[in-house]
Structure 1
Amino acid sequence: MNNTLLYVITVLIWGSTWIAINYQLGEVAAEVSIVYRFGLAALCMFAYCRFKKLPLKFSAKQHLQLSAFGLTLFGFNYYLLYNAQAHINSALTSIAFSTLMMINILNARVWFKTRISSRVYYGGALGLMGIVTLFWPQISNVHFGDSTLLGLGLCLIGVVFASTGNMISIKNQHDNMPVLPATAWGMMYGSLFMFVVALVQGQTFNFSYTFEYISSLLYLSIFGSVIAFGCYLTLLARIGAHKASYATIMFPAVAVVISSFFEGFIWDSYTFIGLSLMLAGNLVVLAKPGMLKRFNSTSLKQVSCSDAK
């Protein structure tokens, strides 16, 4: 797949997973549902790798790296974000998680000496402004007490773990570990970690046999994990973590559109302005420099022609 298609698939799938996550909450503990999600995703990915005859054997040193990959991206990250949701609303969670792009920029500089162009910073700033504007009605009613600060803290720490997992994934590919087999092992290690966490917490490994729970679990495992992570982690190595992670800023845009159809979400001026800023930031970050130069030169010519007239 080309990079554009990988990016679009990632944004559309992860932007829609919030509906499925809603059906996961309730009868089954969140930690247990995460075990089921990534355990099933790992099995599916192992089966696919076996079918495609992709290499699944790694050295002991590589397995240590893969376990760190799994614990950061599929373990600590999700555990902290789920716990953060108990203290803050989804709007604050979206804003806090969207900082992944900025943290990835810093980490890419530290880990790989990646030089970041100024337009990536400008685009990221536009995207963050768009998310804040989009959720401003919910944010303006938030009281920043101890519980809210705790939730934001947990969420930001979770984002740091997620960014670390992103960097390890890039290193995996630099070390010639194929994406899908490495991700399969990472998901398995993440699932095992969450299994231990659930045991320590005394959670019951029950299961909900309702259509909503099973269908949402399948969607999160196959689409939200196997396909979306496969696309996203491939993008990390191809276009860089700073560009690929702009997808996290676009998720709320997809969620708002879906909510308009399924939940009757009513658009207002904040919605239009917020989405416009997010799309503008997306264009600035992902467009090729030559395209922006041509756009600017064309705009200048049009202005010059209009002045001449």
Structure 2
Amino acid sequence: MSAQVGGRDPKVIVAFIVTALVWGSTWLVIKAQIGPVPASWSVTWRFTGAAIGMFALGLVRGDIRLNALVPERAVLVRAGLIGVSLFCGNFQFVYRAESHLTSGLVAVVFALLVLPNAVLSRIFLGTPVTRGFVLGSLIALAGIVLLMIREYHAAPAGSDVPLGAGMTLLALVCASTGNVLQAGQVARRVPAAMLLAWAFTIGAAVDFVIAWVLSGPPVFSWSPMYAGAVAYLALVGSVLTFPLYNLLLREMGPGRAAYNGVVVPVVAMLLSTAFESYRWTGLNIAGALLALAGLVVALQSRKPSR
């Protein structure tokens, strides 16, 4: 199915909307996890729960069978690479970035995921990149710079805005790598549930090792807020949404699938305003509008990626 046709498929439209809305909320929920438990352990618990949930969902739907639980070696290796890049590296950096930046700002910067997605898609999948896309990307980057300037001046004591921004950019690279790996032919050999269940499992295993090395023995908080956040991020923010996003990657390609990055920060910034007392000024309003306008220009100029 072409990207254009896929874009009009009701399943694709629903997947696009649901993913954008849910992921817009997860930035704030991630912020709620910071403090009681070291970031690495929070990531570990999220994807441990996601792995269990995805295997259960796959078994119920028939996408995973007990007599064929392990996919072929090439698919398992691909799942491992996706797990390490997307469900380990990406979220290890994101959780730490939110220690220094508001959840809404991290989401706005993360909207630039479309840029590395486009570059890596061009290199590995042959997706064309237009001049309009480059122009829009530069406009978006200018908006991000304005947001960072405001954040730097308004940051409370103890915050390290450049470090937070740097971690967010590293998370972008990891997430984009995982996205492109999901769009390749090897990943298409098995149902998304099978691929993601193993990717969650392998990612959680690596997260576990990193957490133990960096933060010592396992730590978990049974407070309703923390445990509820883990459950929400594992089941709603991962088990529900990553298969939907996998559908977008397969039907639209990595570049176009990242379009929901325009909606996600809008939701995240509104929630940040309501729950984190994020204060809007002329500078950050201009930065947010410039960033989103640049992304719209870039996305409208892109040719179908498949």
Q: Same fold (TM over 0.5)?
A: yes
Deviations 1:32-73 (A, max 9, x none): 111111111111111111111014541123211211111111
Matched, 1:46 2:73: no
Q: How does 1:83-98 map to 2 (within 5 A)?
A: 83-85=96-98, 93-94=106-107, 97-98=110-111
Match for residue 223 of structure 1 among 228, 236, 246 = 236
Q: Take 1:45 and 1:252, find their aligned partners in 2: how far apart are those partners?
A: 26
Q: Take 1:270 and 1:252, find their aligned partners in 2: how far apart are those partners?
A: 17
What is the Cα-based RMSD across aligned positions, in Å? Answer: 3.1
Match for residue 205 of structure 1 among 195, 218, 228 = 218
Pick closer, same or farther for the CA change 1:280–1:155 going to 2, 3 Å.
closer
Asked if the contact 2:133/2:301 (under 8 Å) is kept, the reply is no
Pick closer, same or farther for the CA change 1:251–1:132 going to 2, 3 Å.
farther
How many angstroms does 1:239 deviate by? 1.7
Structure 2, gaps ≥5 residues long: 1-9
Q: How does 1:150-161 map to 2 (within 5 A)?
A: 151-161=164-174
Q: Tell me, what secondary structure is at the counterpart of 2:189?
A: coil
Pick closer, same or farther for the CA change 1:263–1:205 going to 2, 3 Å.
same
Deviations 1:154-186 (A, max 9, x none): 443332222111111111566423222211110
Match for residue 113 of structure 1 among 110, 115, 126 = 126
Q: Take 2:193 and 2:35, find their aligned partners in 1: how far apart are those partners?
A: 32
TM-score (normalizing by structure 2): 0.80
Pick closer, same or farther for the CA change 1:279–1:232 going to 2, 3 Å.
same
Asked if the contact 1:134/1:270 (under 8 Å) is kept, the reply is yes
How many angstroms does 1:25 deviate by? 1.8
Match for residue 251 of structure 1 among 247, 259, 264 = 264
Q: Take 2:151 and 2:111, find their aligned partners in 1: how far apart are those partners?
A: 16
Match for residue 27 of structure 2 among 10, 18, 38 = 18
Asked if the contact 1:92/1:152 (under 8 Å) is kept, the reply is no
Asked if the contact 1:128/1:249 (under 8 Å) is kept, the reply is no
The number of residue pairs the alignment matches comes to: 287
Report the equivalent of 2:273.
260
Q: How does 1:1-309 map to 2 (within 5 A)?
A: 1-55=10-64, 56-85=69-98, 93-94=106-107, 97-134=110-147, 136-140=149-153, 151-171=164-184, 175-270=188-283, 272-281=285-294, 283-286=296-299
Asked if the contact 1:70/1:186 (under 8 Å) is kept, the reply is yes
How many angstroms does 1:220 deviate by? 0.7
TM-score (normalizing by structure 1): 0.79
Deviates more, 1:87-96 or 1:247-256: 87-96
How many angstroms does 1:207 deviate by? 2.3
Letter in 2 for 1:197: I
Identity, % of aligned pairs?
31
Structure 1, gaps ≥5 residues long: 291-309
Deviations 1:190-229 (A, max 9, x none): 1011111122235232322221112211111111111222
Deviations 1:10-36 (A, max 9, x none): 221111112211221222221111111
Pick closer, same or farther for the CA change 1:271–1:85 going to 2, 3 Å.
closer
Letter in 1 for 2:248: L
Larger radius of gyration: 1
Q: Take 2:232 and 2:58, find their aligned partners in 1: how far apart are those partners?
A: 20
Q: Tell me, what secondary structure is at the counterpart of 2:128?
A: coil
Q: Tell me, what secondary structure is at the counterpart of 1:21?
A: helix
Q: Take 2:187 and 2:197, find their aligned partners in 1: how far apart are those partners?
A: 17
Asked if the contact 1:260/1:266 (under 8 Å) is kept, the reply is yes
